[in-house]
A and B are shown apart, each in its own frame.
Chain A
């Protein structure tokens, strides 16, 4: 019963997000996924204590912890693209690896620099 209630709250936010997403698309012609809008609204309502955390915690944490399961069918469908991927898969792999290196290092170093400057300005160091 509790789980069904929580599921309906979460699904409700997803619907509200979809409606706002539809309106944004129709009225302003910008596309933001409804699920993302639902997420932001839920975050705001949790932070402002309009919605209590225990209204969504069990089902929500279950979804967050087992997210991978829901993507098995999409991942398996890659079989349909084996033909297209056969000649170029190594290019994709190389791009992913190089891009990962660049992203990881640039984020790590820029945040390190940010922290360094912040410490200088504040004059104290907290981890």
Chain B
């Protein structure tokens, strides 16, 4: 009986079902903190903990059965990143108009994000592997995972830090926008996009459509620059 509830088909169905459900609810609730990736992952972790206690398997074994069932998504990760060309293509007029603010924001964003992680990481006495896992936290999931693998971080921890960074953007971004009087679309859009990727962008869209468009471009430009900086690590 338990075999049915740990079978690949069940796991695929469960993941698709939960993600669809949370995406649907996200559409109704309209709050960035209601993040489908976060909520689906937490639900499945709780489910796997229950399965673990019933079957008596080790954590690694339980997780392996799940990730093997969902193995097919790994084939899609590379084409997924390729698709990031679309949001910047449809916003090419924005790039033309705002190339200088985008360039400045991207460079400052990557430099501050990566150097602050590096300095704070040493300050808190983290090991190299942990610091490298946090370095790409400001860029979009697909690119962050690639960078983390390449420089010797732990992709799982990188993905978690990317999610937490996104939540920071949705939580604190609007307050910071007011405190520092960011009133222009370019400064709002770049701040959200370069610091907190897609989650921040969905918050920037609420402030203004143009800020959202600039923010979407910032996601990709920050991703590219972070990859380039990571070459030297």
- Given A39-B84, A72-B15, A80-B60, A98 and B141 touching (CB < 8 A)? no
For the complex, count residues of B whose C-beta is within 8 A of A. 102
Query: By the criterion CB–CB under 8 Å, are B112 and A107 in contact?
Result: yes
- If over half of B's interface residues share one DSSP class (helix, strand or loop), that class is named, otherwise mixed; here it is helix
B 110-138 to A, binary, CB cutoff 8 A, 1 in contact else 0: 00110011001100101000100010011
Q: With an 8 A cutoff between CB atoms, is A3 at the interface? A: no
- Taking the closest CB of chain A, its distance from the CB of B170, in whole angstroms, is 11
Chain B residues near A23: list those with CB within 8 A. none
Q: How far is the CA of A78 from the CA of B42 in the complex (A)?
A: 10
Whole-angstrom CA separation of A43 from B35 in the bound complex = 28
Given contacts A67-B141, A76-B48, contact A108 B165 (CB under 8 A): no
A91 to chain B, nearest CB (A): 4
B121-A95 in contact (CB<8A): yes
- Secondary structure type dominating chain A contacts: helix
Q: Does B4 reach chain A (CB closer than 8 Å)? A: no
Number of A positions contacting B (CB below 8 A): 74
- 3 smallest CB-CB distances across A and B, nearest first, come from A68-B37, A35-B81, A108-B191
A sample of 6 inter-chain contacts (CB < 8 A) reads: A42-B85, A59-B83, A68-B36, A99-B116, A102-B112, A114-B186
7 new A-B contacts, CB < 8 A, other than A56-B83, A79-B49, A96-B165, are A35-B77, A36-B227, A66-B19, A68-B35, A80-B60, A107-B191, A109-B180
